[in-house]
Amino acid sequence: MSCPRIEVDLSKIRRNTQTLVKRLGLRGIGVTGVTKAVCGHPALGQAMLDGGAEGLADARISNVQRLRAAGMTGPITLIRSPMLSQADQVVRSCEASYNTEISVISALAAAAIRNGSVHGIVLMVEMGDLRDGISPEHLENIAQQVMQMSGVALKGIGANFACLNGLAPTALQMAAFCDLANEIEGVCGPFLKTVSGGNSANLPWALGERATGRVNDLRLGEAILLGVEPVSGDQIGGMHTDAFTLVAEVIETDAKSPPSPIALIDPTTERLRIVTTSAASARMILAMGHQDTDIPGLSMPVGSTLIGATSDHLVIGTPRTLPKVGSEVRFQMNYNALMHAMAAPDIKVELMGNPPTRPTRHTQGKVDHLALV
């Protein structure tokens, strides 16, 4: 098999989706599967849909186009505010998009009229994350402007949490967000189909004891893909955390002890620290580096230590018997490492766990090994 590669167990993606769909469904909340971390890989998007996700969402139009090229016809939403230069592409590929700028919405409206369609608009509200969003005091005015435009329809409102500042939403913030949905309906008239309360960081709130109010949608990527809650990094009960495995090949071994002391990279802080190495330690070099993934986001094999990495070499120390040149070493990844590895052009994707059976050819982005959708 080719190295480096990512082995993906699609059955675990399906089961993770099913688990969250079931739990959130009891709270009146649907799931939108987010494919941005996997670059809009069609097989992974299909696994989310097979697990019960109501639709898919992505932040990049190129990823949406990849899904469409694979024959996916269900609803796909663009969750990053569209670029003005891509208005026509967004209208042709997405049923709806998340927006913050009236000038962009106007461009989408014009593009939709040219396309003979109506594009759904979800207004993103700033609720404290300080990334993207309309200030609550301006929301009513922008919503009214959208209502007056031809070519677009006000579909709902959304919010982001823990994206920029890493803080999980509070019950007070979520209650205020729900109040905004009621206020917009009172002013603009039509019922808001989508009240999207956030992402995977909202799961502790959504699955807690408090009422979830008007929220009827969560946009979930990390929780489905990795089975963890983003803020704490803790495993979500009953979820698989090993759907993805990064595999790299050993290209050199060295049983000689490096000089002591040696500077090692702390994988948590990404800072150098000085340690004293054991005389019994040995090193292996793998054909993978910073150009392929986020090295601090890798979980080292048991008993191994990250010594360092360059653009295309990964050096690991181990007190155990050195593997042979040509053998493989396997890693688990956090969200950043997964996202970078999936976008790396030299890392192949190997689908496992009963992948769908219709083959397709992808010419966009990376080449997939056994790319099936």
Helix (H) or strand (E) holding 139: helix 136-147
Q: Are 300 and 267 in contact (CB under 8 A)?
A: yes
What's the topology of domain 10-226?
TIM Barrel (3.20.20)
Is 281 within 8 Å of 257 (Cβ atoms)?
A: yes
Q: What is the value of pTM for the model shown?
A: 0.88
Q: Would you kindly state where each structural domain of the chain is located, as residue ranges? A: 10-226, 244-352
H helix intervals, 207-334: 222-226
pLDDT in tens, 296-337: 999 999 889 999 999 999 999 987 788 899 999 999 999 999
- According to CATH, the topology of domain 244-352 is Elongation Factor Tu (Ef-tu); domain 3 (2.40.30)
Strands 314-318, 305-309: pairing is: antiparallel
**Structure tokens that stand for 17 in this block:** 């989706």
Confidence of residue 368 (pLDDT cuts 50, 70, 90): very low
Residue at 39: amino acid letter: C
Nearest to 337 by CA among 290, 370, 273: 290
Q: Model confidence over 149-181: pLDDT tens digits?
A: 999 999 999 999 888 777 888 999 999 999 999
State residue 264 phi and psi, 5-degree precision. Answer: -115, 155
Burial classification of residue 287, based on how many CB atoms lie within 10 Å of its CB (0-12 exposed, 13-18 middle, 19 or more buried): middle
Measured distance CA(139)–CA(162) in Å, rounded: 21
State the DSSP code for 280: T
Cβ neighbour number for residue 93 with a 10 Å cutoff: 21
